Amino acid sequence: MVNFNSHSIDLKLLLCKSGTTLFITIKLVAMSGDSSPERLFRVTVFFKRKPGMTEEEFNHHWENVHGPLVADWAVKHGIVQYTQFFTPSHLRQRITSNVPSAGVLDYDSGVDWYVRDYDAYERAYEDPYYLEVIEPDEWNFIDKSGGETGGIATAVSTLGVCRDIVRDGKSMVGKPVLDQRQKDLLESSIE
């Protein structure tokens, strides 16, 4: 049970039937014309491509085959946003070359799900369409060789609240208190 501003939310770590463990965070967003934030759960999943598949083959299948299979199912189950993100090896290597001490998640891709009703999100994975169409397609491009459950062997999870600091290229927070030297540095870096 997690308490956010006097709202209790019962959260369970979601292990999909495939054994995939999810990162779970909560995002507060204000809907248009409404100053009070709506609570959205953000569920993030990281995974690796099927052994023997190139990054290009993986990305093509995930975006052009799997994505369309998921879209209407996601809408049906009240998913507000479904975002795929690709983490090709050359970008992961770039992080470690620029910041050698940086830890890099060694996954080929990830997905963010934004949902209003977390229980409905969990129930979506019991839908026959998921079980008979989406989940079997995952075997075509995701490494699901994680033992008897067929799941991914490595798992990490977290729960938190997301706050936008910069959105659509604009600061969403108040101005910092800066001395004159800091103001000059900031202004010179903006020009």
At 104-147, the pLDDT tens digits run 777 888 888 888 888 898 899 999 999 999 999 988 998 887 65
Q: What is the mean pLDDT of residues 15-36?
A: 42
What are the backbone dihedrals phi and psi of residue 184, each rounded to the nearest 5 degrees, phi first?
-60, -40
Task: Report the C-alpha gap between 103 and 99 in whole angstroms.
Answer: 9
- CATH number for the domain harbouring residue 96: 3.30.70.100
Pairing type for strands 2-4 and 7-9 reads antiparallel
Domain that holds residue 90: 2-190
Task: Report the pLDDT value the prediction gives residue 18, as an integer from 0 to 100.
Answer: 39
> On the CB side of 166, how many CA atoms lie within 13 Å of its CA?
2
pLDDT at 31: 40
Q: How many domains does the chain have?
A: 1
Which residues sit opposite 112 in a β-bridge?
44, 83
Q: What is the pLDDT confidence band of residue 5, given thresholds at 50, 70 and 90? A: very low
User: Of all residues in the chain, what percent carry a pLDDT higher than 90?
Assistant: 23
Residues in the chain: 191
How far apart, in whole angstroms, are the C-alpha atoms of residue 56 and residue 23? Answer: 25
Which segment of 15-19, 25-29, 175-179 scores lowest on mean pLDDT?
15-19
Higher pLDDT: 157 or 92? It is 92
Which DSSP helix (H) or strand (E) runs through 111? strand 109-115
Dist CA 63 CA 177 (whole Å): 44
Residue 70 host element (H or E): helix 67-76
- Record the pTM: 0.66
Residues 6+ apart with CB under 8 A from 153: 145, 146, 147
pLDDT, tens digit, for every residue of 32-75?
444 445 667 888 888 888 889 999 999 999 899 999 999 999 99
Mean pLDDT of 94-112: 77
Q: Per-residue pLDDT for 29 more than 50?
A: no
Q: Is the pLDDT of residue 97 over 90?
A: no
Per-range mean pLDDT, top range of 17-26, 33-42, 72-81, 178-187: 72-81
